[in-house]
Chains A and B, each alone.
Chain A
């Protein structure tokens, strides 16, 4: 029972951080970052540097009228925004975010569920995100929504495969599914050096999995109005948005853990034992996550969107062969005892 309580406390802490800090700050960073890149001022009226803008946005979302299209399938239509939060609120449970430390004679691991199959659980839960888009598209009774959700399901299947192969290469070299072992393994050198190809594939598929530019075909506003979320407004739209940001954070964290050595400042440097060391470790991880998050924003306002056939070609004819090549190379190197 104690273990369950401990896991719940950790879960609540991360959840509060994700929804209370990450989501609003990211809204601000994204809008100010967009303004910075596009040489504009961006939102600067509400609070200093427009920092309170997310709060104003939240109030607007809450007080807007809730509209349900007359023809919509109510159950699916209302379930979709809630389902968008399912992978967002579950995947981060298996990803470690800080070093293990002893407190009051008890070993505390900074991961909600320390599972032997953590990496596999992550892939499984992340794959459930597509149902939200399908329900939204089918339930809205709108051709643009339906087209958006069809694109989403095809896109997620294609890119999940490459992501799985990229993660598999890491697991082969670590010889463990446990993400804590993956970080320990990087003591000699980070995986980004050994597997740059895998890192590249994982990064691209991470953009595709979160439906971010240049892979935001499911909601491409120039052709599909707003894609799967055309008929959503007020808090329902805000839920989709929040899900996207939390997913982005989890994937950034996973990138940091799989390829950038987690809480190591440089390869081999782990924070000292004890609580202070754990806090330093969490901060180092956070710095890496913040960098990756900024990369997401940066790319969004730098690259144009792919055309749909280009997206499919990239997924099946470029990324999949690349990820398989990476896996084969890593397997051979591990077998020869080089890695």
Chain B
């Protein structure tokens, strides 16, 4: 129990620190690399609450695939360093106000009411599979088609840009 608490605080602080680096660092590549550390720390926290499947999927999908794609695009487009200071544009100010509002809403509504032990108590690969492929099969397939449509749309937009 002691060990888990230490690991939690270590990786929770890592996640928060590097999340701050993500928004404050002027170099987009380094900001993305900090995001990798944040998401990895979150995966470790999932492990401490005995949800290894979510941890594995988090690393596999977010840190392993999506952020590599982010980095690839940033390097390919050669995005320059951002020199504007925080809160110098109105959109940044409004964005942060809305985010803080969401954060407060989430904390007051969910974090207090839902106990983590209860939500992961029934964790098992079979239960998750049954929930995905039996109870919610229709919405699962619908989501798949939605994503497929998004991919097709993105491809069409990309090829049009090429021709023009």
Q: Which residues of A contact B65 (CB under 8 A)?
A: 127, 157, 160
* Residue in B closest to A116 when the chains form the complex, CB atoms: B125
Interface flag for A179 (CB, 8 Å): no
Residue of B36, B57, B64, B69 most packed against chain A (CB within 10 A): B64
Q: A150-B75, A150-B76 are in contact. Are A117 and B64 (CB under 8 A)?
A: no
The answer to the question of A130 belonging to the interface, with a C-beta cut-off of 8 Å to chain B, is yes
- A138 and B56 form a contact (CB under 8 A): no
B31: interface (CB < 8 Å): no
Are B72 and A154 interface neighbours, CB within 8 A? yes
Q: In this assembly, does A203 line the interface, its C-beta being within 8 Å of a C-beta of chain B?
A: no
Residues in B with CB closer than 8 Å to A150 are 72, 75-76
A120-B60, A156-B68 known; A131+B75 contact, CB < 8 A: no
How far in angstroms is the closest Cβ of chain A from B55? Answer: 8
A270 lies within 8 A of chain B by Cβ: no
A238, CB-defined interface residue at 8 Å? no
In the bound complex, what is the Cα–Cα distance between A127 and B71 (angstroms)? 14
Pairwise interchain contact A131-B33, C-beta atoms closer than 8 A: yes
CB–CB A127/B125 < 8 A: no
**Inter-chain contacts of A154 with B (CB < 8 A):** 72
B41 within 8 A of A: no
B160 shortest CB reach to chain A, Å: 21
B53/A131 in contact, CB under 8 A: no
| Contact residues in B for A130 (Cβ distance below 8 Å) | 64, 68
Assuming A131-B36, A177-B125, is B60 touching A153 (CB within 8 A)? no
Give the interface SS of chain B, mostly helix, strand, loop or mixed: helix
Counting chain B residues whose Cβ lies within 8 A of the other chain, the interface size class is 20 to 34
- Shortest CB–CB separation between residue A165 and chain B, in angstroms? 13
Please state if B64 and A127 are interface contacts (CB–CB under 8 Å).
yes
Q: Which residue of A lies closest to B52 (CB)?
A: A117
Q: Does any Cβ of A come within 8 Å of B38's Cβ? A: no
Decide: B57 and A153 in contact? CB cutoff 8 A.
Answer: no
Q: Which 5 pairs show the lowest CB-CB distances between chains A and B?
A: A127-B64, A124-B59, A124-B60, A120-B56, A124-B56
A51 within 8 A of partner (CB): no
**Could you give 10 example pairs across A and B, Cβ below 8 Å?**
A117-B125, A120-B53, A134-B33, A134-B68, A134-B71, A135-B33, A150-B75, A153-B75, A154-B72, A157-B65
Tell me if A29 counts as interface (CB < 8 A to partner B). no
Residues of A close to B63: CB separation below 8 A: 127-128
B29 within 8 A of A: yes
Q: Please name all residues of chain A whose beta carbon is closer than 8 Å to the beta carbon of B60 when the two chains form the complex.
A: 120, 123-124, 127
> Is A160 touching B64 in the complex (CB atoms < 8 A)?
yes
CA distance A333 to B163 in the complex (A): 44
B125 to A, closest residue via Cβ: A116
How would residues 320 to 337 of chain A score, 1 for a CB under 8 Å from any chain B CB and 0 otherwise? 000000000000000000
Asked whether, in the complex, the Cβ of B59 is within 8 Å of the Cβ of A127, the reply is yes
Interface string of B11-46 (1 = CB under 8 A from A): 000000000000000000110010010001000000
Name B83-138 residues within 8 Å CB distance of A.
Answer: 125
Asked if A157 and B68 sit within 8 Å, CB to CB, the answer is yes
B residues less than 8 Å from A156 (CB atoms): 68
